[in-house]
A and B are shown apart, each in its own frame.
Chain A
Amino acid sequence: MPSSRDVVFVDGVRTPFGRSGPKGLYAETRADDLVVRVIRELIRRNPGLPPERVDEVAIAATTQIGDQGLTIGRSAAVLAGLPKSVPGYAIDRMCAGAMTAVTTVAGGIAFGAYDVAIAGGVEHMGRHPMGEGVDPNPRFLSEKLVDPSALVMGMTAENLHDRYPSITKDRADAYAVLSQEKVAKAYADGKIQPDLVPTAIRTAEKGWGLAVQDEAPRPGTTAEALAGLKTPFRPHGNVTAGNSSGINDGATGCVVAAADVAAELGLSAKMRLVSYAFAGVDPEVMGVGPIPSTERALRLAGLDISDIGLFEINEAFAVQVLAFLEHFGIADDDPRVNPYGGAIAFGHPLASSGVRLMTQLARQFGERPDVRYGITTMCVGMGMGGTVIWENLA
């Protein structure tokens, strides 16, 4: 058994992201069906990959009950028609679920336990609202292990504005407007559509339809419009629905493989995994998580922030992206950051988002052979950050 092998990202896809709620795209669509759709499209798009060569299916979900329960990696693999010999499991690190699915199977591949794996995530926040069924231990508060605001993500974002007084609401809104503009342009330029899986949707009232694009983006959003939005987490606060990601439904998935096996099967490896890291921070300022995780991943890779040519950072909140940029001395509108826009426009179906970042980075790598390294990073509830550094193989 080889002790370490190069791990590559072969291909990633996702369903269009919907707005959660009774009028959303996926109001009457099951979460596991979204995952099935993603797995089948990955198999179809990569004809060189015999389904029986998939050694693991790791699917993340934050709320693992109902249609997101039943060990969703395994159950979705069976529903997708993969051979019964292919195992699967469920995984959870809240917002970084899919990212953790990728790093975990990558660890298994590097160790030699797997050759090829499918990793992804799903969150149907309409069927499973944030916090559904949680039962926090009373010791969190009685022993002041965490601040009472730690479990409400919007409050942690407000807390981040306190920590970075220079990040004003105006800056956050301006960042959000830019994200919407970049998504609109990426759509217009056809950058997003190739990695979307058209997904059948049905409601009892309207019958069958087909989801072909993200529902959440609001093209034409202006700073003026955002300025008037309510700040639900704090009176006269900074965090609004406009400078945050929304409540969304969607699924993502990707094929990760040992570099030599990808070559053997003729799979087109797009990125090589260089390093990854997760880090913990105070839960009440979970948004700073990407800073220590990125520092650690850079250190493991022997790289400096200046070596990174493209950043895909999840936009749970504008303030959290701005804190990261401010820390590393990067401009708010640096073109290396989220060139196609981010979660403020696309939406953020919690556990699925990590693979969206990777899929978009892979496509940008394809367009920018001059760029050698890129990172995908995101903040995570309960005070964490995750970062994966990738090398461009284009």
Chain B
Amino acid sequence: MSDIETWRALLSDRNADEVVTKALVRDVELPGGAGTMALITLDNGFDHTKPNTFGPHGLFALNGALSEIAARTDLVAVGVTGKPFIFGVGADLKGAAQVTSREEALAIGALGHHVFRRLGELGIPSFAFVNGAAMGGGLEIALHCTYRTISSGVPAVALPECFLGLVPGWGGTQLLPRLVGPANAIKLIIENPLSQNRMVKGAQAYELGVADALFEPADFLEESLRWAARVLQGAEQVSRPDHTAGDWDKTVADARFLVDLKLHGASPAPYRALDLIALARTASRDEGFAAEDEALADLLMSDELRAGLYAFDLVQRRAKRPAGAPDKALARKVTKVGVVGAGLMASQMALLFARRLEVPVVLTDLDQARLDKGVGYVHAEVDKLLAKGRISGDQANRLKALVTGSLTKDAFADADFVIEAVFEDLAVKKQVFAEVEAVVSAECVLATNTSSLSLTEMGADLKHPERLVGFHFFNPVAVMPLLEIIRGAATDDATLATAFAVGKSLKKSSVLVKDAPAFVVNRLLTRFMGEVITAVDEGTPLETAEHALDGLGLPMTPFALLQLVGPAVGMHVAGTLHEAFPDRFGVSANLAKLVASGKPGVYGADFSLDPEAVAFFAGGDRPSTAEQVRERVLGALSEEIRLMLEEGVVAAPQDIDLCMILGAGWPFHLGGITPYLDRSGHSRSRFLPPGVASLPA
């Protein structure tokens, strides 16, 4: 049996639902009498909302097309392009998640190589015409070609594999560094994926050297074919600088240092990618591709990747269809928004509402100076957007006109949605809502941005408590994608549906949370912080506790997080949770000293530890080792999540993970957190069945 038959036998039945990307072949007479090109169109038969992906059958289809082309003698070149708006977005992830053996995993890598490399080994030049989004395996197809053109209209070029827990192992790690040099390759293969999976546009990809020519979308294919004809006739020269002579190894070493700072070894994928890039300087194609096969097989059979695929599915699917949200049709129209308060949080919210909903937003405060400052903040932010070219002058004028201030709440009379962002105190908030309710219609939604107070208590004295809902943003409001939407005991479906609709318009991912102390993200972060601080209070050196969890690759260490949140706010939330759950949430006297000192945290301006601040935490006599701190924290998180699920704070562990990914930036390789607690054994009884976010049993 040939290799291809072996792979067919092994992989054919793997994903019965594979949406097969076909390789349609059509002859094209090149301009200027340059000869005939066989032009392959990659097309899965759907529109751009279902992009081209590659599973085994797609690869077999491309292989078949290339075999027919290879058998011909009348061709001067082969071309590859995509369907409208899409070139190709990579491997079929559903299929990848179903791989059960290393043998299959190896076969996926080897089959991809076998097919794609033919584009570079046909004996005639090959051209990729990247007309639309090109990611992962899609971009690798282009990299295997002799030449590439790209459209300036391409919205996304990326090798997102490391973001998920893979490497671009169908040639990407070997071909790209040789083409664009190690620094640019590392940017696309490692830096961008580890920066919230950043993507580049067509023109940037061209500037990085990924493509040889850039054409406008209006006649991209025609001009690409004309360019190809000129290349074939020698009228156009393409230079291929040799990057192997430069400081390749140093570039890789520098990148490894930065990856370490970020991940501390928590996710294997970026390290494997760096190994492969290092190898690419001298490895032959056979050696390099074989090494990619091994890396892919190892990673495909790793729990980190399975957690990554699970996390990807959460943010791609579950975040768009929030569990437990009521029928969308119940949502009421929001044509005007009121914001109580004019502090920083309120101003950030006002800007977001104005930008996304494009309706009038009124800020109220008791103090004209504060009001002016709040409105002034919004106007200044609008000017910044204008200066960056993100909005036009007309749009800037519109946004500024939408946001106004008022000293009285009368201005809320015709508002449909009023949100408060006043001091975190139950009595103050109740007073505010009583005043608002005196002015607004009976249907106007009242929303609170409280991060810890009980919604049910807050609505107790309202005439219409059914219209009160929690709407918990994360700081900075414009950036953080999560919105915790809290249903109080009285909240009705129409109010909740309106809250979800507003959340969607704000381009946030909303998760439905029960009215429980500190909801999801703050409760878990506070428990996490509380355990770390207690360990320090007990005498563990601060630095030991601070770095005890580095191996997880969290975005921030505990005390850095405390500094970001602000010690006073952190202590306030801890106090709320202590009242609710005194057994599990402590209030640190040492933390109170830090708050009283007015210091911003334990770090000084230069990010080194401030000895005076650290001294507040001295005095304990029962130090723990880093390992003990780590066990304590992970055990506590497992316990807290278990309790939250039992209390029904959210519908499922998936919602906990979604909240931690989107609200706290916890990484994909942990799957949020529950997949990690399952695989490390801290959960004791599993949160998720084997195979959901881990290798199948």
B218 touches A207 (CB 8 A): no
A79 to B153, CA, bound (A): 13
Q: Within 8 Å CB of A205, what residues of B? A: 24
A37 touches B39 (CB 8 A): no
In the complex, per-residue mask of B3-43: 1 if CB is within 8 Å of any chain A CB, else 0: 00000000000000000000011111101000000011101
- Report if B226 contacts A (CB, 8 A): yes
Contact A36 B26 (CB under 8 A): no
Indicate if the CB atoms of A209 and B28 lie closer than 8 Å. Answer: yes
Give every chain B residue within 8 A of A81 (Cβ-Cβ): 216, 218
B43 lies within 8 A of A209 (CB): no
A210 at the interface (CB under 8 A from B): yes
Contact residue among B29, B81, B216, B218 (Cβ-Cβ distance under 8 Å from A212) = B29
Q: How far is the CB of B77 from chain A (nearest CB, A)?
A: 13
In the assembled complex, which residues on chain A have CB atoms less than 8 Å from the CB atom of B218? Answer: 36, 40, 79-81
A198 at the interface (CB under 8 A from B): yes
Q: Is there an interface contact between A37 and B222, defined as CB atoms closer than 8 Å?
A: yes
Asked if A200 CB lies within 8 Å of chain B CBs, one says: yes
- In whole Å, how far is A86's beta carbon from the nearest beta carbon of chain B? 15
Q: Are the CB atoms of B222 and A200 closer together than 8 Å? A: yes
In the complex, which residues of chain B have a beta carbon less than 8 angstroms from the beta carbon of A200?
A: 219, 221-222, 225
Instruction: Tell whether, in the assembled complex, residue A207 and residue B221 are in contact, meaning their CB atoms are under 8 Å apart.
Output: no
**CA A80 to CA B222, docked complex, whole Å:** 14
Contacts of A80 in B (CB 8 A): 218
Q: Is B64 an interface residue (CB 8 A)?
A: no
A210 to chain B: closest CB distance in Å? 5
CB distance B45 to A207 under 8 Å?
no
**A207 close to B222 (CB less than 8 A):** no
Separation of A65 and B687 alpha carbons in the complex (Å): 59
Q: In the complex, what's the smallest C-beta–C-beta distance from A70 to chain B, in angstroms? A: 17
> CA–CA, A8 to B25, complex, Å?
44
Residues of A within 8 A of B41 (CB): 202, 206-208
B28, closest chain A residue (CB): A210
Provided the pairs A198-B31, A202-B41 are in contact, do residues A208 and B221 lie with their beta carbons within 8 angstroms? yes
Q: Tell me the complex Cα distance, A208–B43, Å.
A: 10
Chain B residues contacting A202 (CB-CB under 8 Å) are 41, 84
Closest to B216 in A: A81
Contact B219 A206, beta carbon cutoff 8 Å: no
Shortest beta-carbon distance from A60 to chain B in Å: 21
A180 is an interface residue with CB less than 8 A from chain B: no
Say if the beta carbon of A199 comes within 8 Å of chain B. yes
Contacts of B45 in A (CB 8 A): 204
**In the assembly, what is the distance between CA of A206 and CA of B83, in Å?**
11
Residue of A199, A206, A207, A209 ringed by the most chain B CB atoms within 10 A: A207
Q: Please indicate the chain A residues that have their CB under 8 angstroms from the CB of B25 in the complex.
A: 207
Picked from A79, A207, A209, A212, the residue with its CB within 8 Å of the CB of B31 is: A212
CB within 8 Å for A206 and B221 given contacts A81-B216, A198-B31, A198-B226 = no
CA–CA, A199 to B221, complex, Å? 9
Known: A40-B219, A198-B31, A204-B45. A210 touches B225 (CB 8 A): yes
Candidate in A41, A79, A206 with the most chain B CB atoms within 10 angstroms: A206
B219/A207 in contact, CB under 8 A: no
A255 to B24, alpha carbons, bound, how many Å? 37
Residues from chain A with Cβ under 8 Å of B27 in the complex: 209
Are the CB atoms of A206 and B24 closer together than 8 Å? yes
Bound Cα distance A199, B31 (Å): 11
Evaluate contact between B26 and A206: CB separation under 8 angstroms: yes
Give the CA-CA distance A207 to B26 in the complex, in Å: 7
Is A199 a contact partner of B222 (Cβ separation < 8 A)?
yes
Q: Which residues of chain A (184-212) have a CB below 8 Å from chain B?
A: 197-200, 202, 204-210, 212
Q: How far is the CA of A79 from the CA of B218 in the complex (A)?
A: 7
- Looking at the assembled complex, report how far the CB atom of B27 sits from the nearest CB atom of chain A, in whole angstroms: 8
Provide the bound-state CA to CA distance between A202 and B129, in Å. 14
A198: which B residues are within 8 A, CB to CB? Answer: 31, 222, 225-226
Q: Which of A40, A204, A206, A208 contacts B81 (CB 8 A)?
A: A208
- Please give the distance in Å from B297's CB to the nearest CB on chain A: 33
Interface residues of A in 27-83 (CB under 8 A from B): 36-37, 40-41, 79-81
Q: Could you say which residues of chain B place their CB within 8 Å of the CB of A210? A: 28-29, 39, 221-222, 225
Q: Are A208 and B222 in contact (CB under 8 A)?
A: no
The residue on B at minimum CB distance from A200 is B221
The distance in angstroms between the C-alpha atoms of A153 and B34, with both chains bound, is: 42
Chain A residues whose C-beta falls within 8 Å of the C-beta of B29 in the assembled complex: 210, 212
For the complex, give the distance between the alpha carbons of A81 and B45 in Å.
Answer: 29
User: Once bound together, how far apart are the Cα atoms of A80 and B219, in whole Å?
Assistant: 9
Contact: A207 with B225, CB < 8 Å? no
- Contact residues in B for A209 (Cβ distance below 8 Å): 26-28, 39
- Chain A nearest Cβ from B162, distance in angstroms: 32
Find chain B residues with CB under 8 A from A37 CB: 219, 222
Least CB distance from B228 to A in Å reads 11
Contact check, A208 vs B39: say whether CB atoms are below 8 A apart.
Answer: yes
In the bound complex, what is the Cα–Cα distance between A200 and B131 (angstroms)?
12
Q: For A206, what are the chain B residues with a Cβ–Cβ distance below 8 Å?
A: 24, 26, 41
- CB-contacts of B83-106 with A (<8 A): 84
- Assess the B219–A208 pair: CB atoms within 8 A: no
Shortest C-beta distance, A392 to chain B (Å), equals 28
Q: How far is the CB of A311 from chain B (nearest CB, A)?
A: 31
Instruction: Please state if B40 and A207 are interface contacts (CB–CB under 8 Å).
Output: yes
Give A210's nearest chain B residue, CB to CB. Answer: B28
Determine the chain A residues whose CB is within 8 A of the CB of B226 once the complex forms.
198
Using known A-B contacts A81-B216, A198-B222, A198-B226, determine if residue A208 contacts B31 with beta carbons closer than 8 Å. no
Residue among A79, A202, A212 having the largest count of chain B Cβ atoms under 10 Å: A202
In the complex, what residues of B have CB within 8 A of residue A197's CB?
222
Which residues from A are CB-within-8-Å of B219?
36-37, 40-41, 200
| Residue of A37, A41, A199, A200 ringed by the most chain B CB atoms within 10 A | A200
A237 to chain B, nearest CB (A): 39
Chain B residue at minimal CB-CB distance from A206: B26
Digitize B49-86: 1 where CB-to-A-CB distance is under 8 Å, 0 elsewhere. 00000000000000000000000000000000100100
Q: Quick one: closest A residue to B226, CB to CB?
A: A198
CB contacts (< 8 Å) of B225 on chain A: these are: 198, 200, 210
Would you give the shortest CB distance from B346 to chain A, in whole angstroms? 39
State in angstroms the CA–CA spacing of A125 and B216 once bound together.
Answer: 28
In whole angstroms, how far apart are the Cα atoms of A210 and B35 in the complex? 13
User: Which residues of A lie under 8 Å from residue B43 when comparing CB positions?
Assistant: 204, 207
Cα distance A199–B219 when bound, in Å? 8
Give 1 or 0 for each of A1-45: 1 = CB within 8 Å of chain B CB.
000000000000000000000000000000000001100110000
In the complex, which residue of chain B has the Cβ closest to the Cβ of A190? B33
Closest residue on chain A to residue B229 by CB atoms? A198
**Contacting residues of chain B (660-695) with chain A, CB-CB under 8 angstroms:** none
- What is the CB-to-nearest-CB distance from B35 to chain A, in angstroms, rounded to a whole number? 12
CB distance from B635 to the nearest CB of A (A): 57
Task: Compute how far the CA of A81 lies from the CA of B81 in the bound complex, rounded to whole angstroms.
Answer: 23
Closest to A39 in B: B218
Chain B nearest Cβ from A352, distance in angstroms = 18
1/0 per residue, CB under 8 A from A, across B206-226: the answer is 000000000010110110011
Nearest Cβ distance between residue A195 and chain B, in whole angstroms? 13
> Which of A199, A204, A209 gathers the greatest number of chain B CB atoms within 10 Å?
A209
Q: Shortest beta-carbon distance, B235 to chain A, in Å?
A: 16
Q: How far is the CA of A373 from the CA of B319 in the complex (A)?
A: 72
Q: How far is the CA of A79 from the CA of B81 in the complex (A)?
A: 22
Which 10 pairs from chain A and chain B are nearest by CB? A207-B41, A207-B24, A200-B221, A209-B26, A210-B28, A208-B41, A212-B29, A200-B222, A40-B219, A206-B26
Instruction: Show the binding face of B for A, using Cβ within 8 Å.
Output: 24-29, 31, 39-41, 43, 45, 81, 84, 216, 218-219, 221-222, 225-226
Could you list 8 further interchain pairs (A-B, Cβ under 8 angstroms) beyond the known A37-B219, A208-B221?
A197-B222, A198-B222, A200-B219, A200-B225, A206-B24, A207-B26, A207-B40, A208-B39
Residues of A within 8 A of B (CB): 36-37, 40-41, 79-81, 197-200, 202, 204-210, 212
Between-chain CB contacts (< 8 Å), 9 pairs: A36-B219, A79-B218, A80-B218, A197-B222, A204-B45, A207-B43, A209-B39, A210-B29, A210-B39
